[in-house]
Structure 1
Amino acid sequence: MTVTDLRSRLSGLTDAELDLLEERLRAKLWQKRWDKWTPYPWQVAPQQIETLGWWLQLGGRGTGKTDGCARYMVEHVNGPACDPRLKGGHRMAIVAPTQGDAVEACVNGPSGLKGHDPRVVLRTTSGGTYARWPSGAEAKLFGAHSPDDVERLRAGGNRCLVWMEEAAAMRRLGAAITHSEMGLRIGPNPHYIASTTPKPRTELIELTRRADVTVTRGRTRDAHHLPQEQRDKLIQKYAGTRMEKQELDGLLLEDIEGALWTRTRLDSTRVGAAPPMVRIVVAIDPAAKGGDESDEMGIIVAGIGQSYIPDRIGFSRRHGYILDDLSGRMSPEECMRKAAQAYHAWKANVVVAEVNNGGDWIGTTLRQIDQTVNYKTVTATRGKATRAEPVAAIFDQLAAHVVTSLPELEEQLTTWVPGDDSPDRLDAMVWALTELMLAPAGNLAAVA
């Protein structure tokens, strides 16, 4: 049949017939994609997941964790109805570090729901953002970053399945689990699936020790869908390091011998909200060579509280609080813009930036972006371990606290060993607490 003949036949169809043809073609395309999928062993779900239990995929980069969970959710939608009274039989939830991550990775991305079922559509209404199927089944999308995200989860409605994407990267992982679990009430077997590169989060460690959690693990070296050259280069670059074990082999590392901070210590000092502050700083640890975007810029917001509170030995002092972590890979201009925004948003007293490591550009760039920011530089005259140890001691004295959770910063704190290159977020936090609690000019810490 020629193209002309095909167009002629299509033009003779009614709207209802065209809709039916489109539906059948979509179904064939979905079936073709569905049949082509070849899973890795760790992408194969357990035959049975207990009620309120978990299937947890821990894997290195490129091991298809998102892909496996998306496949599972599509299978779930096309399986028996969890509640026949519901249109489509299923109401599910997808929780990611941010709602944007849920949209990009879990729905629209090449490994997301649309990659397994092209019939999925994304809809945003006054009630939220949803992935929906023609049957009427739906998955509501949530983030786990801000207090507002937690409130949305609290009021998120009842669900039959919850997918936690990159769980270890969620700033409010504990609250996300608590509030989503309260809503797992639809059907005879509501449960979780989760996909994440492992990081030393207390909640994640506790999950792996539960009897109702099935854990599958994948390694980058075994991810044959990735080009062999790429796998070889990653393994060669990180061979023998913690990064290889965690980011490539998918191992969940707990406390590291020799690290100045431990997960237990951070948990023991953690607070759910910051008290009133007497002074706030935004500290910057710049990337080398004026902001190579392959390196991260460390930007940490910290404050010192108004109240005098006993520390570990009963000594009354003002305590330090790590309020926010805005670090990331960015240009010098974006870094200064983000620091200036944080300065105003937190009503900070000063922006503090290290200038040892090619950071002379910081002051110039900041002045070009916002001349109203109070800015000072600091220069390291001691080694990084020597600077970090007094700050770690403040945590040991129970006088410094992480507010809620800051997963990327906490990972650096609990995995850095003196002698290794100190990472950006850790350095910025050390500068912040040094300015607030240890520097002679800014020391508001101790009273008898």
Structure 2
Amino acid sequence: MLGGRGSGKTHAGAEWVRTLAEAKVSPIALVGQTMTEAVTVMVRGESGILAAHPAPQRPRLRSNVLTWPNGVQAFVMSASDPDRFRGPQFAAAWCDEVAKWPDAEATWDMLQFSLRLGDHPRQLATTTPRPIPLLRRLLADEHTVVSRMRTDENKHLAQSFYDAVVGRYRGSVLGRQELDGELIEDSPDALWQRGM
């Protein structure tokens, strides 16, 4: 799922996890760039997993494990150490902001070996795109289903944000990436590349 900043990627990911938990798909990996980011954004954030559940169905967070009243578990994990995915196994994974993971290729690859439980192991990647090899590979894969979300499609953001940020950056290269969720490639004729 490619989306601009504030487009609703986190909310969509949290609702996806809620749907999995209701269907008793378990265990689930919740992978953020860091443990802190995974907990503060994916789990506890305003659009995170806890906010997506009504109180009686809300999971409990203890250490790095979310446990739902029906027994489903989700493990909060950091993308910063690919080897942490050696050993655990999952039925599903929500991977947030994969385009900013420090070693995205290695972490993604190790996660694939862990997605081996249940009838249909699946994963959701939510990110504002950047031109990294992993994202290019996923977008080129015929088995990848791509959804796109634009910031201006989210009518729940502050009007001042629309006026100041969307108004200023709309149509620019940075705005196309950060607001429209477009994967902007470097020009081969450019003197400098973004990765430099």
Q: Deviations over 1:84-142 (max 9, x none)?
A: xxxxxx11101111011111111111111100124211111xxxx11111222111111
SS in 2 for 1:213: coil
Contact 2:66 2:73 in 1 (8 A): yes
2:47 alignment partner AA: S
Distance 1:116 1:152 in 2: 27
5+ long unaligned stretches in structure 1: 1-56, 83-89, 263-408, 414-448
2:45 to 105, 109, 117: 109
* 2:33 equivalent to 1:97: yes
* 2:162 equivalent to 1:231: yes
What is the 5 A alignment of 1:134-283? 134-145=69-80, 149-155=81-87, 157-262=88-193
1:164 alignment partner AA: C
Equivalent residue pairs, number: 193
User: TM-score under structure 1 normalisation?
Assistant: 0.42
SS in 1 for 2:147: strand
Distance 2:129 2:18 in 1: 24
Kindly state the Cα deviation for residue 220 of structure 1 after the two structures are TM-superposed.
1.3
Paired residue for 1:132? Answer: 67
Kindly state the Cα deviation for residue 258 of structure 1 after the two structures are TM-superposed.
4.0
Q: Deviations over 1:21-72 (max 9, x none)?
A: xxxxxxxxxxxxxxxxxxxxxxxxxxxxxxxxxxxx1111111101101101
SS in 2 for 1:187: coil
Higher mean displacement: 92-101 or 232-241 = 232-241
Contact 2:139 2:146 in 1 (8 A): yes
Percent of residue pairs bearing the same amino acid type: 34
* 2:6 equivalent to 1:62: yes
Distance 2:95 2:187 in 1: 26
Distance 1:110 1:120 in 2: 15
Q: Deviations over 1:385-419 (max 9, x none)?
A: xxxxxxxxxxxxxxxxxxxxxxxx72xx3xxxxxx
Q: Deviations over 1:180-203 (max 9, x none)?
A: 110111111001101111111111
User: TM-score under structure 2 normalisation?
Assistant: 0.92
Kindly state the Cα deviation for residue 242 of structure 1 after the two structures are TM-superposed.
1.3
SS in 1 for 2:74: strand
SS in 2 for 1:140: strand
Kindly state the Cα deviation for residue 162 of structure 1 after the two structures are TM-superposed.
0.7
Q: Which has the larger radius of gyration?
A: 1
What is the 5 A alignment of 1:330-349? none
SS in 1 for 2:28: strand
Structure 1 moving runs of 4+ over 4 Å: none
Distance 2:134 2:124 in 1: 15
CA RMSD of aligned residues (A): 1.6
Distance 1:260 1:130, change over 3 A: farther
1:167 alignment partner AA: V
Paired residue for 1:77? Answer: 21
Distance 1:258 1:228 in 2: 38
Contact 2:170 2:179 in 1 (8 A): no
Distance 1:228 1:220 in 2: 12
Paired residue for 1:122? Answer: 61
Kindly state the Cα deviation for residue 257 of structure 1 after the two structures are TM-superposed.
4.9
Kindly state the Cα deviation for residue 260 of structure 1 after the two structures are TM-superposed.
3.2
Distance 1:59 1:159 in 2: 26
1:180 alignment partner AA: L
